[in-house]
Structure 1
């Protein structure tokens, strides 16, 4: 037993050293700043909220009554794997009103919940859930490693909008996109880029959806084959003061815009913040009002080095927002 423990500990230490070495080896990356279309499908069906079933005897919600929770991931029904909302509804409809065994993932573990579907006013059996199995939207590519094609984007995870749960990734892809219009940000009303997908050919894969961004491999080099690498900054090199972001807020043009790093957060910040930014560039303020949705992932540069990526806008001041330290994204990618 002790020998087994020593081997296990040795293996963990070896892997930790390997991952640290991989992260340390990345000393330069190509900052991109171009928007991309992101398509992802979930590894199961995510419960978003409950919808009462309107039966002849009144409204009921079998799922809630059985103990299902918002944010649960349904992975099978009566032993049949579920990979889409349609597959879930089909299994429930075929139940004939008999109890169904739902295997769900919750808090990192699996459990079985038994629910009894009820027929609605049209005679269709339901359990009363609104579920999600996929998403599509736009974000901004932060960087690519030209040696491997590995990229990082967004600087935060893709979460279900109503529950805030990180979407469990089954598969995903990136598509070429351009910015067709901008909804300008105002105090209390975050703005947004209106992206337009261009064609169906994939730029690359989405392999991971994490709290620090999405990661994968670019198979199409067209977004970066004419760009140059820049050094990656260490956390100690990031300073309060002048910086710039690369952003695509019009058509397919990426431009440099002036910002200020106004605050630097501790490396162990519980919200994952690396720094606070203030947009100072008159042109960007005129176009967008500051930071808007869709700019997440825009690379932040200071003194010629890549220091982070834009992640969030402040609702009460769209000229300001947060960015993640580039080191945190690289660590997540290499782990």
Structure 2
């Protein structure tokens, strides 16, 4: 009797343990499979993931053709269908949306560029105290505006530059001014009473800026001269917010110094940007979470006219890869090791985790430094991503964005 009870409990324990194992395995596999992928036309029947699942097409909006004429290929591209991923060829784990695309080629860059952006509206950095004509300190904007707000209007008049704001505040004669503010994508109005100064001018006690400049790296150039760069947005260093772009441009820049990265302190490239018209490479039309995008006037003279295929994220594997950069004016490839591929990272520009192994790059920079953001990542002869972030605690490690996320723009 006791033996049979033991056997029954043992069987139940085994089944419960096996069920827990399957649940754990399914959850682990779920996180290791992307929600959606791009697949090149003609290669989408061979989609594989680096986990033990079988893949089968569930639903298709793509017509089936017996021959592959150009017209039919064109109608195939842009279609979507679903893949069902199964564990042990039995248990459904996840459905993946597949977008069929044409094979694409771009010119990898790696060229350092000067970046100038003009804000859409006047960005508020913060508030401060003002010493009034009576000798006392006041902070008129405290708890009314906040860092990251954008001033769009003053008493109903649109403003785009700091000088316009100053002129309208002085013209108020000390009467309260109404600011049209954009905060978290909502427009509100606030009223602030300017403080009179001893020199006869008036202040609101607000720190603002309307433009920004810095150094980054161009990632790729298309044949139509459209480009992508940075791999992350142009953001304000004080508020941490992504800049609302009105207009911008990219310029030739000369790297004049490299501050090596050390544990706890990121290094940086220091460059000189020449804002003369003849040094302008092109215009910026968009500032996004995955980089800046625009159109060049010309291909920079030092660029090689060599195009490479765009690699999709499901093709990336751990192991050797290269980043392209021109730290000393000459484009070079530096060895890195891809450690992890995260298809579903909450931050879309941190899908690739890598560390630098190239001795020359480690000697020159200590690893990844600020200003290298946008450096293209190549693997197996394809461009697969771009450098986006450096680990503050370890300058040899960094993150990258999948190139397909940048190509969406």
TM (norm. structure 1) is 0.89
Residue 247 of structure 2 is aligned to residue 168 of structure 1: no
Distance 1:26 1:124, change over 3 A: farther
Q: 1:307 to 1:195 in 2, by over 3 A?
A: same
Other-structure match for 1:112 = 189
Residue 203 of structure 2 is aligned with which of 126, 139, 142?
126
Match of 2:162 in 1: 85
Indicate which of 276, 279, 299 corresponds to 1:221.
299
What CA distance in whole angstroms lies between the structure 1 residues aligned with 2:242 and 2:179?
Answer: 20
Aligned to 1:34: 111
Cα distance between partner residues in 2 of 1:191 and 1:239: 28
Runs of 5+ unmatched residues, structure 1: 1-16
Q: Distance in 1 between matches of 2:156 and 2:173?
A: 16
Partner of residue 179, structure 1? 255
2:117 and 2:245 in contact (8 A); partners too? yes
The alpha-carbon deviation at position 268 of structure 1 amounts to 4.6
Q: Name the larger-Rg structure.
A: 2
By how many angstroms is 1:198 displaced? Answer: 4.1
Relative contact order (alpha carbons < 8 A, sep ≥ 6): 1 or 2 greater? 1
Cα displacement (A) at 1:141? 0.3
C-alpha distance in structure 2 between counterparts of 1:102 and 1:157, whole Å: 27
Q: Tell whether 2:341 aligns with 1:264.
A: yes
User: What is the CA distance between 1:223 and its match in structure 2?
Assistant: 4.5
CA distance in 2, matches of 1:71, 1:323: 26
Query: How large is the Cα RMSD of the aligned pairs?
Result: 2.1
* 2:309 maps to 1:235: no
Change over 3 Å in CA distance of 1:102–1:308 after alignment to 2:
same
Determine if contact 1:104/1:110 at 8 Å carries over to the other structure.
yes
- Return closer, same or farther for 1:221/1:173 CA change in 2, 3 Å cut-off: same
Distance 1:197 1:270, change over 3 A: closer
Aligned to 2:268: 192
Change (3 A) 1:51 1:199: closer
Distance in 2 separating the partners of 1:83 and 1:18: 42
Pick aligned residue for 1:245 from 294, 319, 323: 323
Q: Scaled by the length of structure 2, what TM-score is found?
A: 0.73
Runs of 4+ residues over 4 Å off in structure 1: 17-23
Q: How many residues align?
A: 313
CA distance in 2, matches of 1:95, 1:23: 59
Matches of 1:248 and 1:21, distance apart in 2: 36
Q: What CA distance in whole angstroms lies between the structure 1 residues aligned with 2:231 and 2:311?
A: 16
